[in-house]
Amino acid sequence: MNGGRRRFHAIGLSILGVTLLSRVPMAAAHPGVHHDIDRVSDSIKKDPSRAQLFIERGVYYRIAGDFSASLADFDKAEQLEPANLDIAAHRGITFSSMGRFQDADRELTRFLNSGRVSAAVLAARAEARAKLGQPKAAIADLSRALSISPDVELFIERLQLQESAGQIDQAAAGLREGIAASGGAVVLRDRLIELEIRRKNYDAAIAIIDDQLAVTPVRSDWYLRRSEILDMAAKPSEAGNDRLRALDEADRAMSQRPSAIHLMSRARALESLGRLDEAKKDLQAALDQAPHLEGAADMVARLDKVQTNNGMTSNTEIRGRQ
């Protein structure tokens, strides 16, 4: 799992099925956390016997990064409601945020062993188990979590664990499952194409692109992607045909709606055909329309470098013949 990613900071204040308030680091996502701490503290002064108030403040302390105060509030809540196993889940999340993954595993398991079912808690335990060097257990937890809630980010996390564990066939199957469950999430589809290329399963990668070509109105970049895979598959003639199709598609898009994006797509098609001067002309036109168009300036610099290197190579060849 990614070391700097979310730590499930804000498992919901009531874990009835576990509502995940946010799946990003909450200090950034919840700038009013100290106000919330003060608000709940005032409520605790008025009603110090309510365990739910200590749970709520413990969550906010965790979001603020005050883990000692968070654990102290969960301990107080448990004194008030010893049978409330929501507290174990909250405490486990705090331990995970602290890097105390063994303790996190223990507390999250207490919650899950009570018969409660929660995708968020399973995913949190998967993170702890991955950190503890238990990838198979982590994968199993993520699979259970995904059977409850098919979340794109969790599909990616399971993929990473499966790849690291050498479960490549399972990784590919899991991505296909995720694509179906998510309605065709772009990030999962792209990862599946990359995975099939690494497996040298070029026909499968091309089939995924063919499916996309059948439904997308803008096909130029997809033809270019397919041409790259056809080159890898040692099918240069078919690859060359796709590069020409990409240019035709880019021309069609430009005739229907001239735009900086379509100019850049046509520049990519022209580059693939070695027509670098024309590609640079389109890129400059795109930058004139949209000076901050992402990737356009970098592409111009790359083409300049290619042309410079080509010129140097030509000069070397001329000198070699003299």
- As a whole number, mean pLDDT of residues 99-117 equals 95
Triad 255, 258, 263: Cα angle to 5°: 105
Q: 21: Cβ–Cβ under 8 A, 6 or more apart, which residues?
A: 10, 11, 12, 13
Average pLDDT over residues 49-68: 96
Please tell me whether residue 218 adopts helix, strand or coil conformation: coil
Chain-centre distance for alpha carbon 38: 35
Q: pLDDT above 90 covers what percent of the chain?
A: 81
Q: What are phi and psi of 55, to 5 degrees?
A: -60, -45
Share of the chain above pLDDT 70, in %: 87
pLDDT tens, 200-242? 999 999 999 999 999 888 899 999 999 999 999 999 999 999 9
Neighbours of 193 (CB within 10 A): 21
Beta-carbon contacts of 92 under 8 Å, excluding residues fewer than 6 positions away, are: 103, 104, 105, 106, 107, 108, 110, 111, 121, 124, 125, 128
Instruction: Please state the domain extents for the chain.
Output: 1-156
CB atoms within 10 A of CB 102: 11
What pLDDT does 28 receive? 41
Is residue 22 over pLDDT 60? no
Q: What share of the chain is helix, strand, coil (3-state, %, to 5)?
A: 75, 0, 25
| 1-156: CATH topology | 1.25.40
In this prediction, residue 218 carries a pLDDT of 87
